[in-house]
Amino acid sequence: MSRIIQYLTAIIVIGAAITLWDGFFILPEGEQVVITQFGRPVGQPIMDAGLHFKKPFVQKITMFDKKVIIWDGDPNQIPTSDKTFVYLDVTARWKIKDPLLFLQAVNNERRAQTLLDDILDGTVRDMVNKNDLVEIIRSSDWTPTTMATQSEKEDAQLQNGRDKIIATVHRNAAKALEQYGIELIDVMFKRVNYIDTVRRKVYDRMISERKRIAAEKRSLGEGQKAEILGRVQRELKEISSGAEREALFIRGKADAKATKIYANAYSKDPEFYAFLKTLESYEKVVGSNTSLVLSSDSELYRYLNRLK
């Protein structure tokens, strides 16, 4: 009897040890788990972190991340609607929304990344094929500046723009991924560029456009320069003419005043005035290096002869 009790005790101890060893599991924070029994899911996924129980040996657990996962696609050269190749590097963020559906449809993250490659690359390629190059390059809210060229202003009339195209890619891809238990959070174009052959053509076009703008600006500057110089010359002539007119007026006024003074002086004593003017003429006619040959009855010495 005691031996049977010992056997039962041993069996209970071994069962308890097995239960503790394989029956309980700890679900870490940021993880979610699906319990399977003989390969088939049992019950609902466990989302809460902590200690949980499953049937030992019979049931298995499969853990999945709850955190956001990054998907980076391979850069591709994709033709646009206007037959121009564009270089695109796309990235996206996703997470496992329904672990049970994800386990049944995808099974693991490696296969999920492959699935994302197919769906996102296909969706991006489809949208790029349906839009012109300018729609991929330009942002949806881009507006030309006052210095923009005419072609840039024409290109500004976008139907979609890059932002709307990305939103459409996200919407279409997210809808396709729902059936796999995947939530696509967002899609982004990490890099959008021209391929080498197109880039050279674009650079040449940009250079020619800028040269044309520079020529227009130089022409406009030369026209403004000529206008400014003409206005300066006209204003200078007006100022010079006004100054000359004012100078003539002042000179005439001064001459009139001097004439009046001379007339007043002459009227008071004509003989003395004539004598004084004659002496003043000596200073102008006879200099330090001047030699004169005059007759004795010259009018120049009229007043000097009277002193004899």
Whether 169 contacts 126, CB under 8 Å: no
pLDDT, tens digit, for every residue of 26-69? 788 889 998 888 878 888 888 888 887 777 777 788 888 989 99
| Fold topology of 69-194 | Tetrahydropterin Synthase; Chain A (3.30.479)
Taking phi over 0 as left and psi of -120 to 50 as alpha, with beta for the rest, 304 belongs to alpha
243 is written with which tokens? Answer: 């100054």
Supply the pTM of this predicted model: 0.58
pLDDT, position 174: 94
pLDDT, tens digit, for every residue of 123-181? 999 999 988 888 887 776 666 555 455 555 555 556 778 888 999 999 999 999 999 99
pLDDT, position 37: 85
Give the distance, in angstroms, between the CA of residue 20 and the centroid of all CA atoms in the same chain.
63
Confidence of residue 301 (pLDDT cuts 50, 70, 90): low
Q: Which residue has the higher pLDDT, 293 or 12?
A: 293
H or E element: which one contains 144? none
Mean pLDDT of 277-303: 67
Largest CA distance in the chain: 190
Strand, helix or coil for residue 250 = helix
Domain assignments of the chain as residue spans, ordered by start: 2-65, 69-194, 269-305
